[in-house]
Structure 1
């Protein structure tokens, strides 16, 4: 999802959609490779920030990859579900939830 936002920001700045897509794909493959082969965390955003091609949107990059942009109504849906489904079940078993267990190994 974030790659689409980055792509659209680049196009707005006059970038070529095909070229931008290829740059993103190439950086994503590099990032995936180090994750798979070296066990390192995803560094795709860092790679994009370091690539001169993406300089025109560097100031907008953080907003393009902001996770809250992509969650939509999920937080309110979770709250509604908990209130309508989960809370009732938890109340039913609340006496069992406060028991402590001692585990010795």
Structure 2
């Protein structure tokens, strides 16, 4: 879980959508002064990978004890289990530090979503057009052509995504400009994720916190 979180965080930071905490005088790279590498998340990844591999030690040891426990059991476990606990303790400390100071750049998130949303919206636009009497096969082909044209403008010319305007200008679509742009509401494409998070917090997370959480938890980290 921590391994996946840290890797997701590193990807999101490369997109400049989210960022882990960064100290005022922190050095993000020993070679490139401008960089703000996600060093905390990278450290979680490194330690989590170690623990995942280290977890094989007790399994292999247990599986080779023959009829009774031998000294290769204790010699191995004295190292592997102790090191695993220390590594997990470090992972959790970094985890707390990162999650307690995550920065979300919502305007960057919105920009990136809106760059791709026109392509996602074509399915809804197609369904709404068919409901108004449009020919599905014909409109599907027009959407395919418009989509490839808009993608080429973005990739080959470095221009803006003009897919929606291409659809608006195409008389084959029996929708008004307002109806077409209404399909660009991101909330139409997130399913139940908002309510699922609320349910998870209310029925799973809160009971755990009420039972075990004892005051504010903080973890200082020097990077």
Same fold (TM over 0.5): yes
Report deviation, 1:78.
4.2
Report deviation, 1:48.
0.9
- Partner residue in 2 for 1:44: 163
Q: Deviations over 1:4-61 (max 9, x none)?
A: 211111111111100000010000000000111012232111111122222x212421
2:175 to 36, 57, 73: 57
> What is the correspondence of 1:1-105 to structure 2 with a 5 Å cutoff?
1-54=120-173, 56-58=174-176, 59-78=178-197, 84=205, 92=217, 94-96=218-220
TM-score under structure 2 length normalisation: 0.36
Separation of aligned partners in 2, 1:48 and 1:60: 11
Separation of aligned partners in 2, 1:67 and 1:73: 13
Greater RCO (Cα-Cα under 8 Å, separation 6 or more): 1
Q: Which runs of 5+ in 2 are unaligned?
A: 1-119
The alignment partner of 1:6 has SS state of helix
Structure index of larger Rg? 2
Report deviation, 1:73.
1.8
TM-score under structure 1 length normalisation: 0.69
Q: CA-atom RMSD, angstroms?
A: 2.9
Separation of aligned partners in 2, 1:96 and 1:39: 43
